[in-house]
Amino acid sequence: MTLHPTADHSPATSSPAGHSPARRSPAGRSRLRTLLGTAVGAGVLAIAVPLSVTAPAFADSGSGAVFVQLNSAAGNAIAAYARSGDGTLTPAGSYATGGLGGTELNAPLDALASQSGLVLDRDERTLVAVNAGSNTVTSFRTRGAGLDRVSVVPSGGQFPSSVAVRGNLAYVLNAGGDGAISGFRLDDGRLSPLKGSTRTLGLGNLNPPLFITAPAQIGFSGDGRFLIVTTKAKNLLLTYALGADGRPAASPVATTSAGAVPFSFVVDPRGTVHVTEAGTGATSSYRVAGDGTLKLIASSASSGGAALCWNVRVGRYLFGANAGSAALSSWTIGANGAAVLKSAVAATTNAGPIDLAASSDSRTVYVEESVAGTLGAYSVGADGSLTRIQTVTGLPVFNAGGMEGIAAS
C-alpha cells in the first residue's frame, strides 16, 4: 500500500446530519447503523507524495510523530509519520505488527468500534497495538517516528480492541464473546502477561462481536487506582479497583450511564472522566468516588451530530468526532469539571471521522477519516478553534475493514 501526504489549506466541507442514534432497541440499533452509514465528506485538491517503505534518517531525530494503525485482516501494520513544528506530517515508514486486523460484525464505518486501539506512552517511548484478528497485542519501542517491534503476545481473550498503558502496567480490553480485561507488565517495552489479572465482562456477545453490544474502551482513572470500561448498548460504565500488585478486583462497580451508548472517554488532569454518548450527542463528566462509583457532575447539551463516538483533550478543550455527520464538535471544561458545549460544528471533515489524537505540544489534532481513507490535521487556536492544515491520503478506505487507532507524540 502507498500512503500519500497532501497539503490542504482550506477546511473540508460537509453537511452535518440531524439527530444522534437511538437507544438499544432493534429499531434503535438499526437507526444507529443508518446514521453511521450516512457519513458524507467533501474531497479536497491535493498533491500526492509517495511513501517510503523504510524509515528515513530523520526517524531518529527526536521530532514529533503520528502513528496510524492500518488494521488489515491480511496483516496489521502501523503507518508512521514525522511531525514538523507546524503540525504537518511527512511519511516515515510502515511497520508490521506481526498480527492480524479485524472487523466487528455490522460495523458501519469503524472496524474495531472502539477508542484506544493504539496507545503511545510518551514517557516510556512505547507504542502498543491490538491485533483483533489474531487475538494478540504488539509492543514497539519508538525512536522519533521510527519503530522497533519488541513483543507480540496473546491478548488474554478474543478480539482485542482497546488498550490502556500506565507506567509498567498495560490492560487490554477483549471485545469478543463475553468480553474480558487482561493485564500485562511492561519492561523496557516488552509485554508479559500478569498472572491472575483476567476478568470476564459477561456480555454474552459473539466473536467477532456485534459492534453495538461490544465494549468500546478501557482506561485508567486519573490516580491510577481504577480501570474504567465503557459498554455502549449496555449503557454501563464499569470500574475495577486495582490492588497494589496491579490486579483488578474480582468484580466491577457498575454505574449507569447518564446518556445512551457511552463510547469513548478521556481523563483530565483533575481526574474528571469525560464520556461521549453516541445515542445523545452529549458529553457527560464524572468524578471517581473512593469506592469506584462514577458520580455525575453534569451532562452537556447535545452536539446535534450523528454518532458522537470519539474524543480527545487539548488543554481545557475537548474535541469529539461525529462519524455520521462528518464534523468535529468542541467542549470547554469548566471550573466545576463539567464539559460545556462550545461549538456543535467546530470543523467539518472528510467522510467518516473516527479516532482522534493530539500532538504533545497541544497545537494539532489529527483525525482518521475512515470512509474517505484520509487523515485530517487541524491546528488548534488559543480559543479552541480548529483550522484544517493538511490532508494525508492513500490510507485504507472502510469497506468491511479499515484503519482504526491513532497516537501522536
Quick count: other Cβ atoms within 10 Å of Cβ 252? 22
Sequence-ordered strand ranges (E) for 27-159:
64-69, 77-83, 89-96, 118-121, 126-131, 136-143, 146-154
As a whole number of angstroms, the distance between CA 118 and CA 105 comes to 20
Model confidence, pTM? 0.86
* pLDDT in the model for residue 78: 98
**Distance in Å from the first CA to the final CA of the chain:** 24
What is the band of 408 on the pLDDT scale with cuts at 50, 70, 90?
very high
Cβ-based burial of 367 (10 A; exposed 0-12, middle 13-18, buried ≥19): buried
* pLDDT in the model for residue 293: 98
Whole-angstrom Cα Rg for the chain: 19
Quick count: other Cβ atoms within 10 Å of Cβ 203? 22
Identify the residue whose cell numbers are 463475553: 178
Cβ-based burial of 85 (10 A; exposed 0-12, middle 13-18, buried ≥19): exposed
Query: What structural domains does the chain harbor?
Result: 4-408 (2.130.10.10)
As a whole number of angstroms, the distance between CA 236 and CA 331 comes to 23
Residue 352 has pLDDT above 60, yes or no: yes
What is the band of 400 on the pLDDT scale with cuts at 50, 70, 90?
confident
* pLDDT in the model for residue 305: 94
* pLDDT in the model for residue 20: 32
Q: Count H helices, E strands: the chain?
A: 1, 30
* pLDDT in the model for residue 63: 74
* pLDDT in the model for residue 59: 37
